[in-house]
C-alpha cells in the first residue's frame, strides 16, 4: 500500500498552487484561495467531486493509473512530480520502456497559447492526446472517435483519410513516413505491449501497411501538405509541420496556411465559426 498521507498531502498542495488561469479557467467570484477548487479539478480530471474529496482526505485508496494520469495532466505536473504522485499512491510510475503519454506543463502552455492555428499533440505511436479548438473545428472533434481511431496510423491504413486530400507525391510520402516513424518507435519502446499490438493489428488488417512494413524503413514524419475538404467554410489547404517537444517524445503537430492566401482567409473565418462549436480542449 502506498503512503496515503503523502498522496493526500501532495494532491491538496498541488491543487492549491494551480491557478485557474494556468488551466484556462476564469477566476470566478468569491474565491478564497488562488488555487483550483475541488469542483474545477474534478471536471478537469473527469472524476467526481466526492471521489476527489476522499482522495484528499486519504479515505480513497489505490487510484487507478488512468485517474493518476488524468490528475497529473490536470495539475500540470512535471514528469518528476507525476512519478512521485504515482509512487505516493502505491502505483508504479510509468516506465521509460513504454511510449510516453504525459503532457508536460510546457507542451500544455504551447497548445493553450497557439490559438490562431490548429495544433495537436501526438505520442510517438501517433495517438492523439491533446488538441485545441481550432484543430477540432478544422479536422473534427477527436473526442468523438473510438480509442482505436484516435491513432493516426491505424485510421490512415484502415479507414483512409475522408475529408482530407493529398497530391500523389504527398500521399506516398505520408504513408511511407507514418510506417517508418512507427518502426522507429518500436525500436525505442520494444516493451510497449500496446505498440506491439498496434503493429500486429495493422499487419493483419492492411495489406498496404504489411508491404510498407516489410521495407524496414526507419524515419520520422516531419511535414506534409494536405487539403481539408469538409470544413464549414470550404476546402482549406494547409502545411503540416511536426515538431519535437523539448525533453519528451511527444510530437506537436501544427497546421498553417500561406499568409494572404484564400486558405488563410478561410482559416481566419473558421476561427470565428468553428470556435462556437468546439470550445474545449480534450485529451
How do residues 197-217 score in pLDDT, each as one tens digit? 999 999 999 999 999 999 998
Domain with CATH 1.10.260.40 in the chain: 4-88
Tally of CB atoms within 10 A around 51 = 15
3-state secondary structure of 253: strand
Q: Which of 120-124, 154-158, 240-244 is predicted least confidently?
A: 240-244
User: pLDDT at position 4, please?
Assistant: 55
Q: Is 272 exposed, middle or buried (CB count within 10 Å of its CB: 0-12, 13-18, 19+)?
A: exposed
* Strand 119-122 versus strand 251-256 pairing type: antiparallel
3-state secondary structure of 7: helix
**Are 236 and 263 spatial neighbours (Cβ–Cβ below 8 Å)?**
yes
Domain with CATH 3.30.450.180 in the chain: 105-275
% of the chain at pLDDT higher than 90: 65
Question: What is the Cα–Cα distance from 131 to 269, expressed in whole angstroms?
Answer: 19
**What phi, psi does 165 have (nearest 5°)?**
-125, 145
Tell me the mean pLDDT in the region 247-268: 93
Report the chain's mean pLDDT, rounded to a whole number. 89
Q: Against a cut of 0.85, is the pTM above it? A: no
CATH placement of domain 4-88: 1.10.260.40
- Residue 276's pLDDT band, with cuts at 50, 70 and 90, is low
Tell me the mean pLDDT in the region 20-35: 80
User: pLDDT at position 21, please?
Assistant: 87
Tell me the mean pLDDT in the region 111-136: 94
More confident position, 32 or 88:
88
% of the chain at pLDDT higher than 70: 94
DSSP state for residue 93 in the 8-state scheme:
P
User: pLDDT at position 138, please?
Assistant: 93
Tell me the mean pLDDT in the region 2-28: 85
Question: What is the Cα–Cα distance from 24 to 279, expressed in whole angstroms?
Answer: 11
Tell me the mean pLDDT in the region 131-146: 92
Quick one: CA torsion of 44, 45, 50, 54, rounded to 10 degrees?
Answer: -130
Q: Is 165 exposed, middle or buried (CB count within 10 Å of its CB: 0-12, 13-18, 19+)?
A: middle
105-275 CATH, one of 3.40.50.970, 3.80.10.10, 1.10.30.50, 3.30.450.180: 3.30.450.180
Distance of CA 248 to the CA centre of its chain: 13
Q: Which residue has the cell 512507427?
A: 182
Quickly list H helices, 18-117.
38-45, 49-56, 65-74, 79-88, 105-113
Q: Which residue has the cell 494532491?
A: 11
More confident position, 283 or 196:
196
User: pLDDT at position 220, please?
Assistant: 76
User: pLDDT at position 160, please?
Assistant: 82
Question: What is the Cα–Cα distance from 122 to 250, expressed in whole angstroms?
Answer: 6
**Are 258 and 227 spatial neighbours (Cβ–Cβ below 8 Å)?**
no
Amino acid at each position: 500500500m502506498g503512503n496515503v498521507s503523502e498522496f493526500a498531502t501532495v494532491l491538496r498542495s498541488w491543487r492549491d498552487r494551480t491557478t485557474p488561469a494556468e488551466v484556462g479557467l476564469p477566476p470566478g467570484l468569491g474565491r478564497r484561495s488562488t488555487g483550483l477548487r475541488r469542483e474545477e479539478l474534478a471536471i478537469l480530471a473527469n472524476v467526481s467531486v466526492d471521489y476527489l474529496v476522499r482522495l484528499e482526505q486519504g479515505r480513497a485508496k489505490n487510484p487507478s493509473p488512468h485517474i493518476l494520469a488524468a490528475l497529473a495532466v490536470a495539475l500540470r505536473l512535471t514528469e518528476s512530480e507525476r512519478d512521485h504522485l504515482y509512487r505516493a499512491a502505491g502505483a508504479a510510475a510509468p516506465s521509460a520502456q513504454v511510449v510516453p503519454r504525459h503532457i508536460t506543463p510546457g507542451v500544455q502552455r504551447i497548445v493553450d497559447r497557439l490559438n490562431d492555428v490548429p495544433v495537436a499533440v501526438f505520442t510517438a505511436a501517433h495517438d492523439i492526446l491533446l488538441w485545441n479548438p481550432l484543430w477540432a473545428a478544422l479536422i473534427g472533434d477527436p473526442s468523438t472517435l473510438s480509442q482505436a481511431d484516435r491513432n493516426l496510423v491505424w485510421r490512415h491504413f484502415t479507414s483512409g483519410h475522408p475529408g482530407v486530400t493529398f497530391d500523389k507525391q504527398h500521399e506516398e510520402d505520408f504513408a511511407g513516413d507514418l510506417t517508418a516513424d512507427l518502426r522507429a518507435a518500436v525500436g525505442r519502446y520494444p516493451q510497449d505491449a500496446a505498440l506491439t499490438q498496434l503493429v500486429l493489428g495493422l499487419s493483419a488488417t492492411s495489406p498496404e501497411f504489411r508491404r510498407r512494413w516489410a521495407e524496414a524503413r526507419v524515419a520520422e514524419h516531419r511535414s506534409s501538405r494536405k487539403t481539408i475538404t469538409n470544413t464549414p467554410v470550404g476546402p482549406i489547404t494547409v502545411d503540416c509541420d511536426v515538431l519535437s517537444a523539448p525533453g519528451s517524445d511527444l510530437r506537436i503537430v501544427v497546421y498553417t496556411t500561406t499568409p494572404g492566401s484564400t486558405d488563410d482567409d478561410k482559416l481566419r473565418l473558421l476561427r470565428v465559426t468553428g470556435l462556437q462549436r468546439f470550445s474545449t480542449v480534450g485529451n
